[in-house]
Structure 1
C-alpha cells in the first residue's frame, strides 16, 4: 500500500509519500539538499554548454589562417551559431513547461556534445575552401539549434522549484557556469590547442558534455523524479517533477504590455555587447597585442565575471528580503550591467597599453554578470507559470545580435580596420537598452 501526494489544480500540497516502506517528501519547491544538488548539476551543464560554444571564437584566428578565411568569413562562422540558436528558444521553453526541463536538457546536451566532437572532422571533409567553410557554418548552425533548448529549460525548472526570494541567487549561481565554461575553454582549451592542434579542444569538451549528460540523467533526473508522486487518472501513482499544466500562455496580453517589450529590447542590447565580446575578444588581443599570451586574455575577463555574477545574485536576493521592490532590484542590476559595460567599452577605445586594455575588457565583461540578476531572471517575475516559454521568446530576441551583431562587427573590421568603431556602436546600443528598460521594465507579475 502506498500513500501518495495530492495535486489539486495548480496547487501542490506538501505531504509524505510511503513507497516500499520509505518515506519520501513531496512539495512545490525543492528541499535545501535538492536545490544544492540541482544547482551544482545545472552549473556544470551551463559550463559545458559555454565551453562548447566558445571553442570556435578561441580557435578562429588559427583556423582562419589554415583555411584562408578573411574577417567577413570568420564573422560568418562565428555568427552562424546564433542562426540556429534563435530557432529553438521558444520551442525549448514550450516543451520544458509542458513535459519538464529535466527531460529536455539531457536530450539536447547529447546532441550538441556530439556535434562539438565531430566539428573538426567536418572541416576536413573537403579540400575546397568554400565547401569546408559551408560545412563548418552548417555545424555551427546545428550546434546553436541544439543549445537553444538549455536556458529556457533551465529557467522553467528554477521557476517551478525555487522560491521567488531565492531565485536570483540560484539563477546567478547556475548562470555563472557560462563564465566558468568560457574560462575552461580559454585556459585548458588554449593549452590543448597549442600542444595538439585546434581540433583537440573540440574532442575533449565534446566528450565532457556527453559525460555531463549521462551524470545528469542517471544521478539527478532518474533519482529525483521518484520523489514527486501524484495521482494518475486511474488512481495509481504517477511520477512528476511538477511540469506546468496545459493552460496556454496568454501571448496577447503579454504582447500588449510595455514591460514585456522592454524585457526583449533590454536583453537584445545586453546580448549584443556580450556576444561581440565573447566572439571577438581573442581576435582583438591577437591583432593589437600579438606578443600577449593567449591563456591570459582568454582567462582574466571570465575569472572576474564569475564573482560578479554570483555576487549580483546574492545582492539581489538580499535587497528583496530587506524590503526593496523586485522592480527596483531588477533595474539596479541592469543599470550596472548595461551602463557599466557601455562605459568601459568606450574607455577601452582610449587605451593603448596591454594592461589597461585587459583591465577595461575584464571589467566590461564582469558588468555583464549583473544581467543574470536583472533581465535574465525577470521572466520568472512577470510570468512565473510560463517562465520557460517567456524566456524562450526573450532569448530568441536576444540571440539575434549573435548573428547580426557579430557579423556586422566582422564586416566593420574588414572595411574600416577600426576596433573603436565596433566598441562605440556597441556601447550606444547598450545605453538604448538601458533607457528602455528603466522606463518600462517591472518586476511585478503581469500575467497569471
Structure 2
C-alpha cells in the first residue's frame, strides 16, 4: 500500500512539473504578444513586419515537432525535455538584447526551435509515467496549461513590462527557465517513471513510414491546424486589436485578455474529464459541434458592439476551442502505444504549428492590405477553422478492445 502511494505521488509530481514547464513556455510566448505593442514602437514596425516577428517563433517551433518526437522516442523524454528548456531559456534571455528587426526574427526562430522539442517529449513522459487508462486525463490536464498560461502571462508580464521594460521581462523569464530545467532533470528519473499495470500494451517498434500511413494521425493533425490557426491568430493579434481598434490601454488589455484564457483552460480540463467518460469513441460527433460553436463565437466577437461583448464572445470561443483541443490531445494516447507516442504527438503538433506559423503573418498582411481593418483577418481564421470540422466528421470510431492496434488495422 505504501509503495502504491509513493508511485502515485511520483507520477503526480512529474505531472505537476510538466504542467509548470508548459506554463513557463507559454509565459515566454505570451511575453512577446504582450510586449509587441512596445516593440512595434521601438523598432517602428508595420503590421506585416509585426506578423513576421510573431510567426518567426512558430517557424522554428513547427520545424522541431517531428524531430523532437522522434528524439523523445529514441533517447527518452528526460533528456529532450531538459535540453529543450535550457535551449529556449537561453534565447528568451537573448530576446531582451535584440537590437534590430533581423536579430529579433533570428532569435525568435531559434527560441521556437528549442521549445519545439518540449510538446512531444512531455507527452512521452506522460506515457512513461502513467498507465494507459490514465494517460488521456493526465495529458489534458497538462495541456490545459496552454490556456492557464494565457491567464497567468498577461497578469505577470504586463505589470513587469510597465515596471522594468520589455527587455528585462525576457531576461527574468529566461533565468526562471534554467531553474525549471534543473527541477525536471531531478525528478524525471527512470526510477520515478516506472508504470505498474496489468494492462497489456503493444511494444512493437513501428517504422515512421508506417506510422505516416495511419489516417487518424493525419485527421488529428488537420484538426489541430484549424484550431491552432484560430487560437494563435487571436492570441497574436488581440492585444493590438483591443488597443488600436477598441481603444483599451496596455494594462486594461493585459487584464482582460486573461479572461478568455481562463475559460479556455476550464474547457480543456472539463473536456479531458468528459473524454474519458463520454467522448472516447464518439469524437466524430462531439468535435465538429464544438468546433462550429467556437467558429460562431469568433464571428460574433469581431462584430460585437462593445468591449464587454468582445471579451464575452472570445471567452466562449476559447471554451469550445478547449473542448476540441482536449479531444485532439487525448485521442492519441488511446490510439497509439507509448513507444511511438512522441512521434505521433510531434506530427499532430506539426499540423497545429503550421497553422500558428501562418496565422500571424497572414493576418498582418490582410490588416495592412485593408488599411487597418481586421475583418478579413478574422475571416481567414474562420475559413481555416472549418478544416477542423471537415476532418473531425471523418474520424473513425475507435474500438475500446483494440486501442493499441489501429496502426495494423489502418495499413
TM-score, normalised via structure 2 length: 0.89
Q: Please show how residues 208-357 of structure 1 align to structure 2 within 5 Å.
A: 208-218=176-186, 220-221=187-188, 224-227=189-192, 247-252=205-210, 254-292=211-249, 293-319=252-278, 326-328=280-282, 330-332=283-285, 334-335=287-288, 337-357=290-310
Tell me, what secondary structure is at the counterpart of 2:407? coil
TM-fit CA distance, 1:149: 0.6
1:114 to 1:437, Cα distance in 2 relative to 1, 3 A: same
State whether structure 2 residue 37 is matched by structure 1 residue 32.
no
TM-fit CA distance, 1:112: 0.5
Q: Give, in whole Å, the separation in 1 of the partners of 2:170 and 2:204.
A: 40
Q: Give, in whole Å, the separation in 2 of the partners of 1:296 and 1:333.
A: 32
Q: Give, in whole Å, the separation in 1 of the partners of 2:273 and 2:29.
A: 27
Larger Cα Rg: Structure 1 or Structure 2?
Answer: 1
Unpaired runs of 5+ in structure 1? 1-15, 17-22, 125-131, 230-243, 321-325
1:387 — aligned with what? 341
State whether structure 2 residue 39 is matched by structure 1 residue 63.
yes
Q: Give, in whole Å, the separation in 1 of the partners of 2:290 and 2:129.
A: 27
State whether structure 2 residue 405 is matched by structure 1 residue 439.
no
1:115 — aligned with what? 91
Tell me, what secondary structure is at the counterpart of 2:166? coil
Determine which of 173, 176, 181 is the counterpart of 2:149.
181
Instruction: Looking at secondary structure, tell me which structure has more helix per residue.
Output: 2
TM-fit CA distance, 1:194: 1.2
TM-fit CA distance, 1:227: 5.0
Q: Give, in whole Å, the separation in 2 of the partners of 1:333 and 1:157.
A: 28
TM-fit CA distance, 1:266: 1.0
1:414 to 1:442, Cα distance in 2 relative to 1, 3 A: farther
Structure 1 residues 395-440: Cα deviation after superposition (integer angstroms, max 9, x where no partner): 1122112222221111000111222222222122212321222123
Matched pairs, number: 393
Determine which of 101, 113, 126 is the counterpart of 1:158.
126
Tell me, what secondary structure is at the counterpart of 1:327? coil
2:360 — aligned with what? 406
1:373 — aligned with what? 326
TM-fit CA distance, 1:348: 1.3
Structure 1 residues 11-70: Cα deviation after superposition (integer angstroms, max 9, x where no partner): xxxxx9xxxxxx978xxxx93222211111111000001111121111111110111000
Q: Give, in whole Å, the separation in 1 of the partners of 2:183 and 2:351.
A: 32
**Which runs of 4 or more aligned residues in structure 1 lie more than 4 Å from their structure 2 counterparts after TM superposition?**
none
TM-fit CA distance, 1:255: 3.6
TM-score, normalised via structure 1 length: 0.82
1:36 to 1:352, Cα distance in 2 relative to 1, 3 A: same
2:82 — aligned with what? 106
Instruction: Looking at secondary structure, tell me which structure has more strand per residue.
Output: 1
State whether structure 2 residue 380 is matched by structure 1 residue 425.
yes
Unpaired runs of 5+ in structure 2? 195-201
1:45 to 1:332, Cα distance in 2 relative to 1, 3 A: farther
Q: Give, in whole Å, the separation in 2 of the partners of 1:383 and 1:182.
A: 29
1:336 to 1:153, Cα distance in 2 relative to 1, 3 A: farther
